[in-house]
Amino acid sequence: MKTKQRLDKILAHMGFGTRSEIKRLVKAGEVEVNGSTVKDSGLQVNPAADTILVAGEQVVYREYIYVMLNKPQGVISATEDTRERTVIDLLPEEYRHFEPFPVGRLDKDTEGLLLLTNDGQLAHQLLSPRKHVPKTYYAEVAGRVDSRDEEAFAKGVTLDDGYETMPAKLVILKQGDPEQSQLSRIELTIQEGKFHQVKRMFEAVGKKVVYLKRITMGPLLLDEHLPLGGYRELTEAELAALPLVKKE
Ligand code: URA
C-alpha cells in the first residue's frame, strides 16, 4: 500500500461517497485528520498512521476485503454484465465499493464456495495453474458412478478438446442404478480449473452431471450455515490459512 494518498481517495475507498460528495463533507467541516479539521479533500494522508474522523467517528482503514459467498444458481461469476445478474450484484454497497471480483469462476448453474476479494495477489496464488490448489466439488451424476470411474479419474481422463486432466480423487457417496433413473452422489477433488472441468470429466466417462456445488478451495471450506446467496467475511483463522502475500 502507498503510504500517503489523497484524503478523498481514501474516503471513497472506505465508502463515504463519490469524490464530489466527499469534497462537500470536507467543506462542511465534517472531516478531521489528527485532530484538525481539514479544508482540502486532496490532502495527502497516511491511512495506516494518521487518525481520520468523519462526523466525529474514526475511520478504520483497510485496503482489502475477503468475502465467502455461497453462490446460488442463475448468477454469473463476473463483476459486470449487461444482461445477467452477477455475483457482485449479491453484495451490499459496504463491500462493493472495495471493487471485489470473484477468484475463479463457477458456471451459472453451479452453486457453492466462491471467494470474492480485491486482492489480486491472492487471486493469483489461488488460480495459478502451477500452484495446483485443490478444489472439491459435490456432484449428482445421472446413473451409476463406479470404481472404474474412480480409477479413470485417478489416472486422468481426456477431455473433448484432447486435454489430459491431472489425477483427480473421486469419492462415491451413493451409487445410483445403471438405468440412469437414479442419481449417484459423489465428491471430486481436482487440482486445476479448466473450463467446465468437472462436467467435462464426467462426459469423458460417458456420464452427465446434473447438479454441481463447490465445497472447498485450497484451505477454505464452504460455510454450511450460509444460505444460497449468503456471504460473510473470512475469519482470522481462514485468512491465516490462505497464501496471502505480505504487502508493504
Ligand atoms: N467444473 C464445472 O464443470 N463447472 C464449474 O462451475 C466448476 C467446475
- The CATH number of domain 5-58, selected from 1.10.645.10, 3.10.290.10, 1.10.730.10, 3.30.43.10: 3.10.290.10
Higher pLDDT, 136 or 246: 136
Ligand 1 lined by 26 (C-beta under 6 Å): no
Whole-angstrom Cα distance, residue 118 to residue 101? 6
Give me the pLDDT at residue 177, please: 77
Give me the pLDDT at residue 236, please: 96
Residue 198's closest CA among 227, 228, 169?
169
Give me the pLDDT at residue 180, please: 61
pTM of the model: 0.91
Whole-angstrom Cα distance, residue 209 to residue 212? 7
Beta-strand runs (E) in the chain = 5-6, 31-33, 36-37, 44-45, 52-54, 57-58, 66-71, 101-102, 111-117, 135-142, 169-174, 183-190, 209-217, 220-221, 231-233
What pLDDT, in 10s, does the model give residues 53-69?
999 999 999 999 999 99
Whole-angstrom Cα distance, residue 164 to residue 31? 59
The pLDDT of residue 179 is above 80:
no
Give the amino acid at 2: K
Give me the pLDDT at residue 130, please: 94
Q: Which residues, in sequence order, are CB contacts of 70 under 8 Å at separation 6+? A: 111, 112, 113, 114, 222, 223, 226, 227, 228, 229, 230, 231
Average pLDDT, the chain: 95
Q: Structural domain boundaries of the chain?
A: 5-58, 66-129+220-241, 135-217
Name the phi and psi angles at 37, rounded to 5: -70, 135
What pLDDT, in 10s, does the model give residues 88-142?
999 999 899 899 999 999 999 999 999 999 999 999 999 999 999 999 999 999 9
Name the phi and psi angles at 214, rounded to 5: -85, 135
Give me the pLDDT at residue 246, please: 72
Ligand 1 lined by 114 (C-beta under 6 Å): no
What pLDDT, in 10s, does the model give residues 74-83?
999 999 999 9
Ligand 1 lined by 110 (C-beta under 6 Å): yes
Out of 198, 205, 215, give the residue to mutate to test ligand 1, the one with the largest number of ligand atoms within 8 Å of its CB: 198
Q: Whose CA is nearest to atom 7 of ligand 1?
A: 106
Alpha helices in 70-169 (DSSP H): 93-96, 120-127, 147-155
- The SS3 of residue 230 is coil
Q: How far is the CA of 117 from the centre of ligand 1 (A)?
A: 20
Across the range 168-187, mean pLDDT stands at 89
Do domains 66-129+220-241 and 135-217 share one topology? The answer is yes
Residue 56's closest CA among 41, 37, 70?
37
Q: Contact at 8 Å (CB) between 41 and 29?
A: no
2 band by pLDDT with thresholds 50, 70 and 90: low
**Which residues belong to the active site?**
107
Q: Contact at 8 Å (CB) between 182 and 143?
A: yes
Q: How far is the CA of 240 from the centre of ligand 1 (A)?
A: 27
The DSSP code sequence of 143-156 is S---HHHHHHHHH-
Ligand 1 lined by 212 (C-beta under 6 Å): yes
Burial of residue 162 (CB within 10 Å: 0-12, 13-18, 19+) is exposed
Residue 225 Ramachandran class (φ > 0 left, ψ -120 to 50 alpha, else beta): alpha
pLDDT more than 70, % of the chain? 98
CATH number of the structural domain 66-129+220-241: 3.30.70.580
Superfamily of domain 135-217: Alpha-L RNA-binding motif (3.30.70.1560)
The pLDDT of residue 248 is above 60:
no
Ligand 1 lined by 203 (C-beta under 6 Å): no
Alpha-carbon distances, residue 142 vs 11, 74, 123, 185, 205 (angstroms):
52, 21, 33, 9, 12
Q: How far is the CA of 50 from the centre of ligand 1 (A)?
A: 45
